[in-house]
Amino acid sequence: MPVTAGAEFGGAAFAVIGRLLGARSGTGDGADDDGGRDLDGAVVVQGRTITAVQIPARLEGLPPRRVRAAFVAPGFIDLQINGAFGFEVGTDPAALHALAARLPATGVTAFLPTLVSRGAADYDLAFAAFDTFAGAAEATDATGAEAPARALGLHLEGPLLAAARRGAHARPPIEQADAALVERLADPRRVRVVTLAPERDGVPALVARLSARGIVVALGHTDASFEAFTAAVDAGATLATHVFNAMSPLHHRAPGATGAALTDDRVTALMIADGVHTHPAAFKLAVRAKGGGRLALVTDATPGAGLGPGVSHLGSQSVVIDQTSARLPDGTLAGSTLTMDRAIRNAVAFAGLTAGQAVRLATAVPARVLGLGDRGSLFAGARADLVLLDEALNVTATYVGGGLAYAGAGAGGP
C-alpha cells in the first residue's frame, strides 16, 4: 500500500518491510545491529507497539496492510535542539507545538527541547510554556490522534557555564548563575538533562545531587582541566555536550576537557556532525575513540535550521544563516542548521560508517543515555517509533507511536 500523508490504520495491524537497522537480538526473530549490519525483514505494528520483528520477512504471516522501504530504522532521538523551522524553544508553547510537528520530516520522533542560558525569571516563563505544551501533548496522545514528535523533557544548557567558552550564550546569565540557582531550576518533573561547566564553584557536589534526582548531567561550555572534568565525572556526570566545541582543547601535555571526554569510557560524547563545528577528520577520531556505544549525534539546531540563508534569531540575538552554518554577526557559531537525517548521512560520509552504525548514534545510544527501555531499537514490545529511509538515507516516512507523522514525496508501498 502507498504511504499517504495523514493516513491512519485505525488501530489495525500493519507491517513495514525493508532492511532493518537496529533490530535487537534476544527477542525471538531479531538480529543484533551493533556491527552495523542491515538484514531484510519486517516490523509488525499493532496500535502504538511493535508486536513482532521478522528476519527474514515471511509474507504469508504478515498483516495485509504493508509498507515497503529501502531501510527501516527506530525513530531518531535528538538530545539537544534549540529550535528549527523558524521556531525557538523558549517561552511560547505554540512554538514548541510547531517544532514537534515539523521534526518527524527529519526522522526525529523524540527530542529534548533545549534552553540556552537566560535570566532566572525567563526560566520560569519557559517552564510554564513547556508545561502547557507537554500537557496538550499528553491529551493528544490519550486520544490516539496523529502524533508529532514527543518531548521527553527539557535540556538546560546552562546557565552555569564558563563565560570564556560561552559561544552564543549571553554573558550576564552565566555570570549571575550559581549552583543554588541550577539546583532550583532542575526539577526532574520537567528537566531531563543539565549541561554544566565543571570548574564553576560547587559543581561536583551539584552533579551528585542532580544525579541522585535522576537528572542526566552533561559537561560542556567549559574551560576545565582534564582533572576538573574527570572529578565531575567521578561525581556522576555522564555526557559531554558537543565534544570539541566550546571546551578546552586536546593538547598532548594538557588534554583538557576534550581529552577527558574522548578517553573516559564513562562519558558519552554528544557531537554535531555538520562538517562546520568539527572537521570530518575530528568526527572520525571521535568515532574511533568512543566506539559505537559512547557517541551520540545531536543537531544543536537553532530556529534558522531548515529555512535557508537569511537572518534568524536566538533569544534576543540576531543570527546570520548561510548555506552551512548559523553565526552571530561577529562570526561566532550560534548552534547549527543541521537536521538529524543529514547528521546520519554525514556520519556515513565522514567516518565510513555503515547505515546501521550511523543510525545507532541517533537511536540506541541516546535511548540508553536517557534510560529509555522502550525505544532506540526494533524489537517486540518497543514503542512503534519508526523511520523509513530510501537508499540514500533520506526520510520517506515517519511513524510516532504507530501513527503516521510524516510522509514524503518518495514514500510508497508494494
Residue type, 402: G
**Which pLDDT belongs to residue 399?**
97
Please check whether residues 131 and 153 belong to one and the same domain. Answer: yes
| DSSP letters spanning 133-176 | HHHHHHHHHHHT----PEE--EEEE-SS--GGG-TTS-HHHHHH
**Which pLDDT belongs to residue 37?**
63
**N-terminal to C-terminal alpha carbon distance within the chain:** 6
Please check whether residues 393 and 304 belong to one and the same domain. Answer: no
Residue type, 400: V
**Which pLDDT belongs to residue 144?**
53
pLDDT in tens, 73-101: 999 999 999 999 999 999 999 999 999 99
For residues 279-290, average pLDDT: 97
Helix 280-290 × helix 340-351 angle, to 10°: 80
Which cell numbers in the block locate residue 169? 550564550
**Known catalytic membership, residue 300:** yes
Share of the chain above pLDDT 90, in %: 85
pLDDT band for position 147 (cuts 50, 70, 90): low
Q: Which of 354, 369, 384 is the last residue of a domain?
A: 369
**Which pLDDT belongs to residue 5?**
35
Q: Is residue 350 part of a domain?
A: yes
**Which pLDDT belongs to residue 298?**
98
Please check whether residues 42 and 69 belong to one and the same domain. Answer: yes
CATH of the domain at 81: 3.20.20.140
Q: Is residue 414 part of a domain?
A: no
- What residue numbers bound the domain in which 257 lies? 76-369
Please check whether residues 281 and 386 belong to one and the same domain. Answer: no
pLDDT in tens, 345-399: 999 999 999 999 999 999 999 999 999 999 999 999 999 999 999 999 999 999 9
Please check whether residues 185 and 58 belong to one and the same domain. Answer: no
Q: Is residue 412 part of a domain?
A: no
Please check whether residues 38 and 88 belong to one and the same domain. Answer: no
Residue 137 pLDDT > 50, yes or no?
yes
**Which pLDDT belongs to residue 191?**
98
Residue 6 pLDDT > 60, yes or no?
no
Please check whether residues 86 and 214 belong to one and the same domain. Answer: yes
Please check whether residues 300 and 364 belong to one and the same domain. Answer: yes
**Which pLDDT belongs to residue 7?**
39
Please check whether residues 70 and 164 belong to one and the same domain. Answer: no
Q: How far is CA 353 from CA 32, 346, 356, 360, 378, in A?
A: 16, 9, 8, 10, 20
Please check whether residues 389 and 320 belong to one and the same domain. Answer: no
Q: Which of 135-139, 159-163, 366-370 has the lowest mean pLDDT?
A: 135-139
For residues 263-284, average pLDDT: 98
> Do 412 and 2 form a contact (C-beta atoms < 8 A)?
yes
Q: Is residue 3 part of a domain?
A: no
Strand runs labelled E in 117-276 = 150-151, 154-157, 191-196, 216-219, 239-240, 268-271
pLDDT band for position 1 (cuts 50, 70, 90): very low
Q: Is residue 6 part of a domain?
A: no
Please check whether residues 155 and 41 belong to one and the same domain. Answer: no
The residue to which cell 518531548 is assigned:
151
pLDDT in tens, 313-359: 998 889 999 999 999 999 999 999 999 999 999 999 999 999 999 99
CATH of the domain at 383: 2.30.40.10
Q: Is residue 2 part of a domain?
A: no
For residues 105-129, average pLDDT: 97
pLDDT in tens, 32-46: 444 456 789 999 999
For residues 161-170, average pLDDT: 96
**Cβ atoms < 10 Å from Cβ of 32:** 12
* Residue 316: exposure state from Cβ atoms within 10 A (0-12, 13-18, ≥19): exposed
Q: Is residue 327 part of a domain?
A: yes
Which is the catalytic residue, given 264, 274, 300, 341?
300
For residues 202-231, average pLDDT: 98
| DSSP letters spanning 38-78 | -EEEEEEEETTEEEEEESS--GGGS-S-EEEEEEEEEPEEE
Q: Is residue 265 part of a domain?
A: yes
For residues 48-76, average pLDDT: 95
Domains: count for the chain: 2
**Which pLDDT belongs to residue 410?**
53
Residue 185 pLDDT > 50, yes or no?
yes
Residue 244 pLDDT > 90, yes or no?
yes
Alpha carbons 412 and 414: distance in angstroms, whole number? 7
**Which pLDDT belongs to residue 60?**
87
Residue 146 pLDDT > 80, yes or no?
no
Please check whether residues 52 and 176 belong to one and the same domain. Answer: no
Residue 127 pLDDT > 90, yes or no?
yes
**Which pLDDT belongs to residue 142?**
56
For residues 104-109, average pLDDT: 98
For residues 170-197, average pLDDT: 97
Question: In sequence order, which residues have a C-beta less than 8 Å from that of residue 403 and are 6 or more positions away?
Answer: 8, 48, 144, 145, 146, 147
